[in-house]
Amino acid sequence: MVHWTAEEKQFIISLWGKVNVAECGGEALARLLIVYPWTQRFFSSFGNLSSATAIIGNPKVRAHGKKVLTSFGEAVKNLDNIKATYAKLSELHCNKLHVDPENFRLLGDILIIVLAAHFGREFTPACQAAWQKLVGVVAHALAHQYH
Amino acid sequence: MAPTTLNVDEKQLILHAWEKVLGHQEDFGAEALERMFIVFPPTKTYFPHFDLHHDSEQIRHHGKKVVNALGEAVQHLDSLSATLSQLSDLHAYNLRVDPVNFKLLSHCFQVVLAVHLGDEYTPQVHVAFDKFLAAVSAVLAEKYR
């Protein structure tokens, strides 16, 4: 079980309360596909991903980004039990989706940058540290059931 | 990953965004280092001789050095190897910083850019900088062995 200080929980929960999940999720997924284009390999059914503009405007990207970040919210609600929270999703990503767990780390770093751009100075170094820890724990949990 | 070249648009985006860094080299550099030390504590092992308190003179001075070096690289995007040759020697033979740390500082520098540029740190600017910083990191490590 991961140990969170009261301060870390504060940073995570209070920032999450201000996140527009649909907007941030769409943006995070779009950036993942733009900054690390090889991640597009998982989304051949999403239609036009031919340019940054196409990706940003792609409704399937937005919808899926929202879905992914909504799921991320489960971690925030269950900070003391993240591994169990993602057990089923971990199996899914391994057995059905065949996603290299490195992609979870990439998306985590992208999310950090999206939060930084949205929250500016409020995203202090200490706040960033709490969130880096969270994205790391989520990535680890999603990779946990891999075999 | 081997360095990839920046295309014309990416070079433009970097040059344009860098105008926002000018005048803030010390602030941005210090903030990037501070974020790196706080978020990735093992990076502190390279600075046992530093005062690592918030806003220390040493962090500000070193941050300014780092960002000025990046600024040099920005002015010479077509000749990174030559421009950074001395720094490359320094890191290979003297400092011997494990290259994994270049990624960590690059990430933190991008966070600083995102914090201060906000909406202007568009996905297009983001990928351009990600590529640029990866190219700089590769040059710094190119004489390691």
Side chain identity at B77, as an amino acid letter? L
The nearest CA of chain B is from the CA of A70 a distance in Å of 21
Contact across the interface for A113 and B38, Cβ inside 8 Å? no
pLDDT of residue B1: 53
Domain count, chain B: 1
Q: Kindly tell me if the per-residue pLDDT of B90 is higher than 90.
A: yes
Mean pLDDT of chain B: 95
Q: Answer whether residue B19 is part of any domain.
A: yes
Does the CB of B100 have a partner CB in chain A at under 8 Å?
no
What is the mean predicted confidence (pLDDT) over B98-110?
96
Tokens coding B12: 């433009």
| B30 to chain A: closest CA residue | A125
Mean pLDDT of B10-24: 97
The helix/strand/coil state of A62 is helix
- Would you place residue A112 in the very low, low, confident or very high pLDDT band (cuts 50, 70, 90)? very high
Please spell the DSSP secondary structure of A101-116, one letter per residue: THHHHHHHHHHHHHHH
Residue B17 lies in a domain: yes
Q: Does any domain span residue B98?
A: yes
Which residues of chain B from 102 to 131 reach within 8 Å of chain A, CB to CB? 107, 110-111, 114-119, 121, 123-124, 126-127, 130
**pLDDT tens per residue across span A85-108:** 999 999 999 999 989 899 999 999
**A29 to chain B, closest Cα gap in Å:** 11
- Whether residue B99 is contained in a domain is answered as yes
Does residue B1 lie in a domain region? no
Tell me the pLDDT band of A1, cut-offs 50, 70 and 90.
Answer: confident
What is the Cα B15 distance to its own chain's centre?
Answer: 15
Question: What's residue B5's pLDDT?
Answer: 85
Q: Give the mean model confidence (pLDDT) for residues B105-124.
A: 98
Q: Which residues of A touch B114 (CB under 8 A)?
A: 113-114, 116-117
Q: What is the pLDDT of residues A120-146, one digit of tens each?
A: 999 999 999 999 999 999 999 999 999
Let me know how long chain A is.
147
CA distances from B56 to A11, B40, B52, B65 (A): 25, 18, 6, 14
- Taking residues B92-109, report their average pLDDT: 94
pLDDT at B84 over 60: yes
Q: Given this model, what pLDDT does residue B3 score?
A: 55
Please state, rounded to an integer, the average pLDDT across all residues of chain A.
96
**Position B49 in a domain:** yes
Q: Which domain holds residue B51?
A: 8-141
Which run of H or of E encompasses A35? helix A21-35
B60: tokens are 């500000």
Q: CA nearest A55: which of B126, B98, B83? A: B126
Q: What is the mean pLDDT of residues B46-71?
A: 96
Instruction: Compute the average pLDDT of residues B5-29.
Output: 97
Return the residue of B nearest to A56 by Cα: B123
Between CA A53 and CA A35 the distance in angstroms is 13
User: What is the helix (H) or strand (E) element at residue B104, kind and residue range?
Assistant: helix B100-117
pLDDT average, residue stretch A45-57: 97
pLDDT digits (tens, 9 = 90+) for A66-87: 999 999 999 999 999 999 999 9
Whether A123 sits inside 8 A of B111 (CB atoms) is: yes
Q: If pLDDT is split at 50, 70 and 90, which confidence band does B2 have?
A: low
3-class DSSP state of B78: coil
> Does B4 have pLDDT greater than 90?
no
Instruction: Tell me whether residue B79 is in a domain.
Output: yes
Mean pLDDT across A2-21: 98
- The span from the CA of A96 to the CA of A117, in Å, is 33
Q: Which residue has 């640029």 as its token pair?
A: B132
CATH number, residue B12: 1.10.490.10
Q: How many CA atoms lie within 13 A of B80 on its CB side?
A: 22
